[in-house]
Amino acid sequence: MKLISRQERFYWTKHVKNKMRYYRLSENRLKRVLHSPDRKELGIAPITVAVMQKAGTKKHPTEIWLMYQKDKAKTKIITAWRYPGISPKRQPPPIPEDILWQLNLNKGKVEIPEEYSKGKTSFLSCKIDLSKIVFIPRIETEFWVKKAIENLKKKQEKLNILDIFAGSGCIGIAILKNIKNSKVDFSEIDNKAIEQIKINLKLNKIPKENYEVYQSDLFEGLKALHHDGYDYIFANPPYVAENRIKEVGDSALAYEPKKSLFSGKKGLSHIRKFLKQARGFLKENGIIYLEFDPQQKKDIEKMLEKQEYSSFKFFKDQFKKYRFARVKK
Ligand SMILES: C[S@@+](CC[C@H](N)C(=O)[O-])C[C@H]1O[C@@H](n2cnc3c(N)ncnc32)[C@H](O)[C@@H]1O
């Protein structure tokens, strides 16, 4: 075991002191975990590290976890807990729910987004419940969905629409509320979002015959559907580049599901896969509305040319930044 350097200064938060009492953990015990961990992971809060040391017995294994933040001057111990059993590998640290919430309240610096503390928001006059902590709808999305709905209103025929990467379901619900004669399929990979979409459909009193909800990795779960394809596909995929993590707001990073934000090094993994597959799910003159990061415009243009979409146009959001594309099959 490594010796603890005498110079090392520790700062114990009020929160961790409470937890140490609760879990009967001493400062020395936690310092041992810190200096001889059996596992080390990125913490959940920004710029934190979580470490674990095995404890208990062979018959009744447990783990002692602690989360800390280190700078030149000190090591700040943020929280600690005991995990009963052996936590799954290659997954984020198994932080107890109560600690997550208590940290939210005590963090101060990283404020919980208002939409989560209220548990709801609105999107184009639709009520959007967010109690399942899914991606918070953004005003940039609201801006382009409003424009798209204005176009859809000009159509007379019944429209078959897909809201893929649906999150809270805000896009599809706004369409169903505004476009009579539309049927929307919602598709999402995340369990919590699936529950959230169903809650929001009820909340907005959408008749059951006007929608279906599918749990699906991109188009995977939609392959078995037998229809002539969609008239419209609406997509707001995760598109934040992993190397631009610093530009993501602290509260988004701390609270919003990571899989709703990031998409590989340049933020283009989901968009690339989506554009490859989407053509096969569109009707002959079908249209895609796609949201992206303004910096990705050129890369997306190349992808669209490569995939031989017949025409496409890029549009700016209310902040004069390229934010969405309208693409024809
Ligand atoms: C940026 S959010 C958009 C949510 C919502 N449409 C909106 O505009 O507010 C992206 C969503 O895509 C989902 N997602 C991520 N990877 C996915 C995948 N491979 N297949 C389907 N959905 C995915 C996330 O869970 C998240 O809810």
CATH number of 26's domain: 3.30.2310
Neighbour count for residue 70 (Cβ, 10 Å): 13
Taking the C-alpha atoms of residue 64 and residue 25, their distance in angstroms, rounded to an integer, is 9
325 C-beta closer than 6 A to ligand 1 = no
Whether 199 and 295 share a structural domain? yes
CB-based contacts of 27, cutoff 8 Å, min separation 6: 10, 12, 20
137 C-beta closer than 6 A to ligand 1 = yes
Whether 119 and 260 share a structural domain? yes
Whether 153 and 248 share a structural domain? yes
Q: Across the chain, which distance is largest between two alpha carbons, in Å? A: 77
- CATH number, domain containing residue 279: 3.40.50.150
CB-based contacts of 8, cutoff 8 Å, min separation 6: 75
CA 217 vs CA 149, 150, 220, 241: distances in Å: 26, 30, 5, 20
Q: Residue 1: what pLDDT?
A: 45
Q: Where are the alpha helices (DSSP H) in the chain?
A: 14-23, 27-35, 97-106, 114-118, 139-152, 170-178, 191-203, 250-255, 269-278, 297-306
Q: Residue 92: what pLDDT?
A: 80
Whether 97 and 73 share a structural domain? yes
Q: Is 286 exposed, middle or buried (0-12, 13-18, 19+ CB in 10 A)?
A: buried
Which residue, of 106, 124, 151, is where some domain finishes? 106
pTM of the model: 0.72
DSSP string, 128-151: EE-TT--PPPPHHHHHHHHHHHHH
- Residue 301 within any structural domain of the chain: yes
230 C-beta closer than 6 A to ligand 1 = no
Whether 153 and 266 share a structural domain? yes
Residue among 126, 139, 189 whose CB has most ligand 1 atoms within 8 A, to mutate: 189
The number of domains in the chain is 2
- Residue 294 within any structural domain of the chain: yes
Q: Tens of pLDDT along 300-321?
A: 999 999 999 999 999 999 999 9
Whether 66 and 135 share a structural domain? no
- Residue 160 within any structural domain of the chain: yes
Whether 100 and 121 share a structural domain? no
190 C-beta closer than 6 A to ligand 1 = yes
The answer to whether the beta carbons of residues 286 and 228 sit under 8 Å apart is no
177 CA from centroid of ligand 1 (Å)? 21
Instruction: Select from 197, 222, 52 the least CA-distant residue to 131.
Output: 197
Q: Residue 110: what pLDDT?
A: 67
Whether 131 and 243 share a structural domain? yes
Q: Is 308 exposed, middle or buried (0-12, 13-18, 19+ CB in 10 A)?
A: exposed
What is the identity of the amino acid at 35? H
Taking the C-alpha atoms of residue 297 and residue 302, their distance in angstroms, rounded to an integer, is 9
Whether 283 and 140 share a structural domain? yes
Whether 95 and 164 share a structural domain? no
Whether 79 and 123 share a structural domain? no
Q: Which residue owns the Cα nearest ligand 1 atom 6?
A: 166
| pLDDT tens by residue, the chain, 329 residues | 444 455 789 999 998 999 999 999 999 999 999 999 999 988 777 678 999 999 999 999 999 999 999 888 899 999 999 999 999 887 788 887 678 777 764 445 567 888 998 899 999 999 999 999 999 999 999 999 999 999 999 999 999 999 999 999 999 999 999 999 999 999 999 999 999 999 999 999 999 999 999 999 999 999 888 778 999 999 999 999 988 887 888 788 888 999 999 999 999 999 999 999 999 999 999 999 999 999 999 999 999 999 999 999 999 999 999 999 999 99
- Residue 324 within any structural domain of the chain: yes
Which residue in the block uniquely carries the two structure tokens 């496409």? 312
Q: Residue 129: what pLDDT?
A: 96
Whether 286 and 154 share a structural domain? yes
Q: Which residue owns the Cα nearest ligand 1 atom 19?
A: 217
Q: Which residue owns the Cα nearest ligand 1 atom 1?
A: 238
Q: Tens of pLDDT along 132-189?
A: 999 999 999 999 999 999 999 999 999 999 999 999 999 999 999 999 999 999 999 9
Which residue, of 42, 75, 106, is where some domain finishes? 106
14 CA from centroid of ligand 1 (Å)? 36
Taking the C-alpha atoms of residue 80 and residue 65, their distance in angstroms, rounded to an integer, is 5
- Residue 1 within any structural domain of the chain: no
194 C-beta closer than 6 A to ligand 1 = no
Q: Is 26 exposed, middle or buried (0-12, 13-18, 19+ CB in 10 A)?
A: exposed
Tokens encoding 160 = 């078959």
Q: Residue 6: what pLDDT?
A: 54
217 CA from centroid of ligand 1 (Å)? 10
Instruction: Select from 117, 258, 269, 126 the least CA-distant residue to 192.
Output: 258
Which residue, of 84, 106, 128, is where some domain finishes? 106
Residue among 260, 261, 269 whose CB has most ligand 1 atoms within 8 A, to mutate: 260
254 C-beta closer than 6 A to ligand 1 = no
Q: Residue 314: what pLDDT?
A: 98
Taking the C-alpha atoms of residue 263 and residue 272, their distance in angstroms, rounded to an integer, is 10
- Residue 126 within any structural domain of the chain: yes
- Residue 3 within any structural domain of the chain: no
- Residue 2 within any structural domain of the chain: no
Q: Is 97 exposed, middle or buried (0-12, 13-18, 19+ CB in 10 A)?
A: exposed
189 CA from centroid of ligand 1 (Å)? 7
Where in the sequence is the domain holding 313, given as residue range(s)? 114-328
